[in-house]
A and B are shown apart, each in its own frame.
Chain A
Amino acid sequence: MYSKKIHVKNATGLHARPAADFVAIAAKYDSNITLKRVDDEDLYNAKSIVMLLALGLENGEDAILSAEGADERDAVEALSDLIDSFTE
């Protein structure tokens, strides 16, 4: 398993368009990919738009992004780059 801490810094947080872009990239990888809040145990399937919406990461929040599978490292790096590219 490969994990990385991400920091959401766009004004609207991780929903609407950014969440949809996130899911679209996540779907390209075979690994199981999850997101969770730093202080919370609940895992959210990162390939599911509905789960991302339910997680509802706001501007300024940190989260742990993890992947498990053959392409786990590529998946986490690509998604964390995407999060970093969201700026408003």
Chain B
Amino acid sequence: MKLPGIPVSGGIVIGEVFRYEPFQAAPEISPIEKADVERNIEIYVEARSAARREMEEAQNRVMERAPDKAGILSAHMEILMDPVIDEEVRGMVCSDLLSADAAIASVFDKYSALLRKSKSASMRERASDLQDVKNRLLRCWAGVGERNLSSLEKPVIVVCDDLYPSDTVSIDRDNVLGIITQVGGTTSHTAIIARGYEIPAVLGVQDCMSLIRDGDTVVLDAENGEILLAPGDDEREAYAAKRESMSALSMEMRTWRGVEPVTRDGRRIWVGMNISGVSDYELAGAVCADGVGLFRTEFIYLGSDRIPDEDEQYRIYRKALDAFRGKPLIMRTLDIGGDKQLERFNLQSENNPFLGLRGLRLCFARPELFGAQIRAALRASAHGDLRLMLPMVSSLDEIQRAKEFIAEQGAKLDADGIAWNCCIKIGIMVEIPSIALIADLVAPYVDFVSIGTNDLCQYLNAADRLNPAVESCYQEYHPAMFRILGMIARGFAGADRTVGICGEIGGDPLAIPALLGLGIEKFSMCSASIAAAKRAICGLDMSDAVSLAQEVQQMKTESEVRARLQAFADNQPTLRGILEEGTSCIQKKFT
């Protein structure tokens, strides 16, 4: 049986399934009988020792690899063994006749609520530590073993409903062969991380959780976007052969990574990479790129168990700058909200998170969080070409307010005698239509812009990019996209500001000719897309690209645009080659 899905990161793998279902606690609500008190206390004591054993084992495991994580575990251990919590849980069971799991939930929730009200940011963060310990304790109470993706015993294909950013960041890359999820589309965080790690992934696979069992062998074909259940011997062989021939092709593509991207008529195009962290793996592509066009700094928050402080962030930004040796590095300031990381940042849940308190808006609401990041970045700016990019900007007021805030943080550093680059370039992401439509007016107030096409597309089409039900409305090739991109490029070019693109479409060989023709000459993409993009650029003439861009802006539907881009590619030997090979480096577009 075959299940269709959305391929977001290419490749073919055959392997055993690991179902990943985070534990969901459901504490008993009804009161217990007096006779059951003793039994409840017994199970509670057992759960507490089981949780303690787990933590001790985990501590031994990570002590050498990641001493900072060991520190977090010992903080959790102190919370677990806390005498006041222990006393209150026992009290609620004995006197209030609460089931012990309900008592655990109630006591931990009470104290996390208390900590969440604290004035100090670091105290509020501790609330999520309490929640972590609570969840572990409740899971042990239910007798359910620990499951996560950070230490897998063998190579597996992960099947789950959805992955949280924290799962995807701590994922055991050596043992995750592939990812299959029930929800999520081409631009979800799971997709972005899977591409960054070059892990084949098919998302939005309906019913995968009910149809696939733990230990099943499946074929994950992220070239065609399908999952094959219970493959027969000949099917396995056919897929293995296909896999072989693909890896030979991708070797050839790799040689293109180091090429200088110059069009046939001699225009040098800037090709940078998007990074989400500073692991050796993320930074390995530095030599092939002209710099970093997008450093998604929120992932350094989501990847660690707590919010990194100013010094930690400073070290991270320094490490990235050192890896790129003088090349520009554009860091996007914290862009959270809009998805699931509510708990860690103690955010209110919203009805329309993508239209809510996210990105720069959230930073203004949480100045202590924003201030720490800005000071860390400014300190790092003394050591390389670091540039700041503000996400989710919708008005000029916000640009001015952010620049004032940055200047204030700089003044604080001055007062402490700490060096920073006072000429640091400050730019914005263009992803909200309101700012795109006044591009020419705001251009004088920013040093550079980069277009975030994923969000721009969802706001322009009013289609949630994480909702598979409206995937067909999320049209990246919608003629309106090309019109607005052209408008942005003209608006900023008039003020002599460079315009870049850092959304997924920037690494798409089919779209690159039209984007170049619109006047966008800086492309930033995941490192896996660089080879194909450079190859596409090297085969192009700017004059052809300009007329192509003119044409698509006059088209009426996405399918017309797509057909035109395809026809253009068919007439270009290099582009045709890239698209026909359909190597695993290229993100597949779903029609």
Contacting residue for B78 out of A12, A13, A23, CB 8 A:
A23
Residues of B within 8 A of A12 (CB): 122
Residues of A within 8 A of B74 (CB): 20
In A50-66, the 8 Å CB interface with B consists of: 50-51, 53-54, 56, 58
Kindly state whether residue B82 has any CB partner on chain A within 8 Å: yes
Q: Is the CB of A54 within 8 A of B83?
A: no
**What's the nearest-Cβ distance from chain B to residue A50, in Å?**
5
How far, in angstroms, from A49 to B74 measured CA to CA in the complex?
12
Interface size range on A against B: 10 to 19
Q: Is the CB of A15 within 8 A of B120?
A: yes
How far, in angstroms, from A51 to B122 measured CA to CA in the complex?
15
Q: Is the CB of A49 within 8 A of B123?
A: no
**What's the nearest-Cβ distance from chain A to residue B354, in Å?**
34
Kindly state whether residue A48 has any CB partner on chain B within 8 Å: yes
Majority secondary structure, B binding face = helix
Given the interface contacts A20-B78, A23-B78, does A53 sit within 8 Å of B123 by beta carbon?
A: yes
How far, in angstroms, from A9 to B74 measured CA to CA in the complex?
25
Residues of B within 8 A of A49 (CB): 75, 78-79, 82
**What's the nearest-Cβ distance from chain A to residue B381, in Å?**
24
Contacting residue for A15 out of B79, B114, B123, CB 8 A:
B123
Kindly state whether residue B85 has any CB partner on chain A within 8 Å: yes
Given the interface contacts A45-B84, A56-B118, does A50 sit within 8 Å of B79 by beta carbon?
A: yes
Q: Is the CB of A54 within 8 A of B75?
A: no
**What's the nearest-Cβ distance from chain A to residue B59, in Å?**
14
Q: Is the CB of B82 within 8 A of A15?
A: no
Residues of B within 8 A of A54 (CB): 111, 114-115
**What's the nearest-Cβ distance from chain A to residue B415, in Å?**
16
Contacting residue for A20 out of B75, B83, B119, B122, CB 8 A:
B75
Q: Is the CB of B130 within 8 A of A50?
A: yes
Q: Is the CB of B120 within 8 A of A56?
A: yes
Residues of A within 8 A of B78 (CB): 20, 23-24, 49
- Most B CB within 10 A of own CB, among A15, A24, A49: A49
Q: When each residue 11-23 of chain A gets 1 if its CB lies under 8 Å from chain B and 0 otherwise, what string results?
A: 0110110001001
Interface size range on B against A: 10 to 19
In A10-46, the 8 Å CB interface with B consists of: 12-13, 15-16, 20, 23-24, 45
Kindly state whether residue B126 has any CB partner on chain A within 8 Å: yes
Residues of B within 8 A of A53 (CB): 111, 115, 123, 126
How far, in angstroms, from A50 to B133 measured CA to CA in the complex?
12
Which residue in chain A gives the minimum CB-CB distance to B118? Answer: A56
In B337-395, the 8 Å CB interface with A consists of: none
Which residue in chain A gives the minimum CB-CB distance to B125? Answer: A16
In B98-123, the 8 Å CB interface with A consists of: 111, 114-115, 118-120, 122-123
How far, in angstroms, from A16 to B68 measured CA to CA in the complex?
13
Q: Is the CB of B122 within 8 A of A48?
A: no
**What's the nearest-Cβ distance from chain A to residue B331, in Å?**
26
Residues of B within 8 A of A13 (CB): 120
Q: When each residue 67-95 of chain B gets 1 if its CB lies under 8 Å from chain A and 0 otherwise, what string results?
A: 00000001100110011110000000000
**What's the nearest-Cβ distance from chain A to residue B422, in Å?**
26
Q: Is the CB of B82 within 8 A of A48?
A: yes
How far, in angstroms, from A15 to B123 measured CA to CA in the complex?
7
Contacting residue for A47 out of B83, B122, B130, CB 8 A:
B83
Contacting residue for B83 out of A15, A24, A48, A58, CB 8 A:
A48
Residues of A within 8 A of B115 (CB): 53-54
How far, in angstroms, from A45 to B87 measured CA to CA in the complex?
12
How far, in angstroms, from A51 to B77 measured CA to CA in the complex?
15
Residues of A within 8 A of B120 (CB): 13, 15, 56, 58
**What's the nearest-Cβ distance from chain A to residue B116, in Å?**
11
**What's the nearest-Cβ distance from chain A to residue B109, in Å?**
12
**What's the nearest-Cβ distance from chain A to residue B84, in Å?**
4
Which residue in chain A gives the minimum CB-CB distance to B86? Answer: A48
Residues of B within 8 A of A20 (CB): 74-75, 78
Given the interface contacts A50-B111, A53-B115, A54-B111, does A16 sit within 8 Å of B84 by beta carbon?
A: no
Q: Is the CB of B79 within 8 A of A56?
A: no
Q: Is the CB of A48 within 8 A of B84?
A: yes
Q: Is the CB of A50 within 8 A of B84?
A: yes
**What's the nearest-Cβ distance from chain A to residue B501, in Å?**
41
Interface residues of A (CB under 8 A from B): 12-13, 15-16, 20, 23-24, 45, 47-51, 53-54, 56, 58
A–B complex contacts, Cβ < 8 Å, 12 sampled: A13-B120, A15-B122, A16-B75, A16-B122, A20-B74, A20-B75, A20-B78, A47-B83, A49-B78, A50-B85, A50-B130, A54-B111
Interface residues of B (CB under 8 A from A): 74-75, 78-79, 82-85, 111, 114-115, 118-120, 122-123, 126, 130
Q: Give the 10 A-B residue pairs with the shortest CB-CB distance, closest first.
A: A48-B84, A49-B78, A50-B82, A48-B82, A54-B114, A45-B84, A50-B111, A51-B84, A56-B123, A56-B118
Starting from the known contacts A50-B82, A53-B123, 6 additional A-B residue pairs (CB-CB under 8 Å) come to A16-B122, A16-B126, A47-B84, A49-B79, A51-B82, A53-B126
